[in-house]
């Protein structure tokens, strides 16, 4: 079945300047209905998870999905380092938002779980825009359930470990999702790898719990000493030590607040975008990424849209790496073909 035609006026708006037309992610086709996933057969579906009632400091990440979708001055055409046109190689759709009711964490998380499930169980990669970090619990659980529990490792970029037992009495806080994912068995503790931790939280006993689970983590201190390339190389090996599939979770506060002021719990001394974007690229090139989220973008505290732009480019690194791998696969197939044809003669 051929993919649907885009009507001419919509096509003209999508091909026009970035600031006009539908406010989907980088102006890709926007769809709303589950059956449209069947007709479009996308490689990647962007989903908004606009929920932020689990934050513990500055709120506002519920406005993140809208901001991140449009935080680009043009539609990305050509990745200069990877030499690939992501939107030519891949079919990407914007599958709208999970309908998260404010103030109801259970229903909000259920909505995220269901929408991500609809995508992940069709073998489509969900690219989820938060929302606070609590949404990683339903999102990564949906991906783990789709691919099979135990088959999924997580690479988690964050200033914070988010492995507390509870926060102000809330077990579904943005400070607890990684603990819930491990406790539930959705992700094995030893394949949960964290990059960029720093500052003054969580307390010592939480790190003891993490050690007991076999979790691995890489502090900013280690990145400062070894450099990001070596740390990513180690993190990939740890995350893939068993599982064959990876979920990437990016809390934008892994960036230094100078680059990402628009976030709920900024912690000085973080990564630069130069390093984060390459780190995501390397993880996506070296593993099979089956889901990703970027969370904690709070536009009200984001002068000059720096934070939203960085989040937008995090997704673009994933898309570009997936595109580069597909093109490489096609080249290899083309190279193999004549050899097999020769063998047949
Ligand atoms: Mn954080
Ligand atoms: Mn976080």
Neighbours of ion ligand 1 (CB under 5 A): 158-160, 251, 253
Distances 133 to 169, 178, 298 between C-alpha atoms, Å:
17, 9, 12
pLDDT score for 222: 98
Q: What residue numbers bound the domain in which 159 lies?
A: 8-344
**Which ligand number lies closest to the CA of residue 267?**
1
Question: What pLDDT, on a 0 to 100 scale, did the predictor assign at position 334?
Answer: 86
Q: Model confidence over 163-216: pLDDT tens digits?
A: 999 999 999 999 999 999 999 999 999 999 999 999 999 999 999 999 999 999
Q: Tell me the ligand closest to 249's alpha carbon.
A: 2
**With pLDDT > 90 as the criterion, what percentage of the chain qualifies?**
93
pLDDT number for residue 345: 47
- How far is 255 from 161, CA to CA, in rounded Å? 14
Q: In angstroms, what is the span from residue 43 Cα to ligand 1's centroid?
A: 29
Cα(315) to ligand 1 centroid in Å equals 18
Q: Determine the average pLDDT of the residues in 251-261.
A: 98
Nearest Cα to Cα of residue 317 among 281, 344, 287, 286: 281
Query: Is the residue at 302 inside a domain?
Result: yes
Compute, in angstroms, the gap from residue 92 CA to the centroid of ligand 2.
26
1 is a domain residue: no
pLDDT tops 90 at residue 338: no
- Count the domains in the chain: 1
In this prediction, what percent of the chain has a pLDDT beyond 70? 98
Is 24 in contact with 48 (CB distance < 8 Å)? no
pTM of the model: 0.96
| Cα-to-centroid distance, 158 and ligand 2 (Å) | 6
Q: What pLDDT is attached to residue 59? A: 97
Distance 159 CA to ligand 2 centre (A): 7
Q: Name the residue among 246, 226, 271, 281 with its Cα closest to residue 80.
A: 281
Domain with 206 in it: what CATH number? 3.40.800.10
Q: For 32-87, how does the pLDDT look when each residue is reduced to its tens digit (9 = 90+)?
A: 999 999 999 999 999 999 999 999 999 999 999 999 999 999 999 999 999 999 99
**Residue 83: other Cβ atoms inside 10 A:** 10
Element (H, E) at 288: strand 288-295
pLDDT at 284: 97
**Is 2 a domain residue?**
no
In a domain, 186, yes or no: yes
**pLDDT tens across 108-157, in order?**
999 999 999 999 999 999 999 999 999 999 999 999 999 999 999 999 99
Q: Is residue 288 in some structural domain?
A: yes
Tell me how far CA of residue 304 lies from CA of 108, 217, 252, 310, in angstroms: 29, 32, 16, 11
Distance CA 250, CA 242 (A): 22
Mean pLDDT of all residues in 250-258: 98
Given strand 192-197, what is the order of strands in its sheet? 29-30, 92-97, 44-49, 125-130, 288-295, 245-251, 152-157, 192-197, 216-219
Looking at residue 311, its pLDDT comes to: 98
């Amino acid at each position: 079945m051929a993919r649907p035609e885009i009507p001419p006026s919509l096509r003209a708006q999508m091909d026009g300047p970035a600031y006009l037309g539908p406010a989907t992610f980088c102006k890709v086709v926007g769809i709303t209905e589950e059956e449209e996933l069947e007709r479009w057969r996308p490689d990647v579906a962007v989903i908004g998870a606009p929920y932020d009632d689990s934050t513990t400091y500055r709120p506002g990440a519920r406005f993140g999905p809208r901001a991140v979708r449009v935080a680009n001055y043009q539609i990305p055409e050509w990745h200069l380092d990877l030499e690939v046109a992501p939107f030519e190689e891949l079919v990407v759709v914007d599958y709208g938002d999970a309908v998260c009711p404010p103030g109801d964490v259970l229903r909000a998380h259920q909505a995220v779980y269901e929408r991500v499930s609809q995508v992940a169980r069709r073998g489509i990669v969900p690219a989820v825009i938060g929302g606070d970090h609590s949404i990683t619990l339903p999102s990564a659980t949906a991906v783990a359930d789709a691919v099979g529990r135990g088959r999924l490792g997580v690479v988690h970029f964050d200033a914070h470990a988010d492995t507390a037992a509870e926060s102000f009495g809330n077990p579904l806080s943005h400070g607890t999702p990684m603990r819930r994912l491990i406790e539930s068995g959705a992700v094995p503790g030893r394949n949960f790898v964290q990059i960029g931790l720093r500052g003054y939280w969580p307390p010592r006993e939480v790190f003891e719990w993490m050690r007991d689970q076999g979790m691995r983590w890489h502090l900013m201190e280690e990145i400062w000493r070894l450099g990001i390339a070596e740390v990513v190389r180690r993190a990939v090996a740890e995350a893939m030590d068993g599982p064959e599939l990876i979920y990437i979770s990016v809390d934008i506060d892994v960036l230094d607040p100078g680059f990402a002021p628009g976030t709920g719990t900024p912690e000085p001394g973080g990564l630069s975008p130069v390093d984060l974007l390459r780190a995501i690229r390397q993880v996506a090139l070296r593993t099979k990424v089956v889901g990703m989220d970027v969370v904690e973008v709070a536009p009200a505290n984001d002068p000059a849209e720096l934070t939203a732009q960085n989040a937008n480019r995090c997704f673009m690194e994933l898309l570009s790496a997936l595109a580069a791998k597909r093109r490489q696969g096609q080249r290899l197939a083309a190279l193999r073909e004549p050899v097999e044809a020769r063998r047949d003669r």
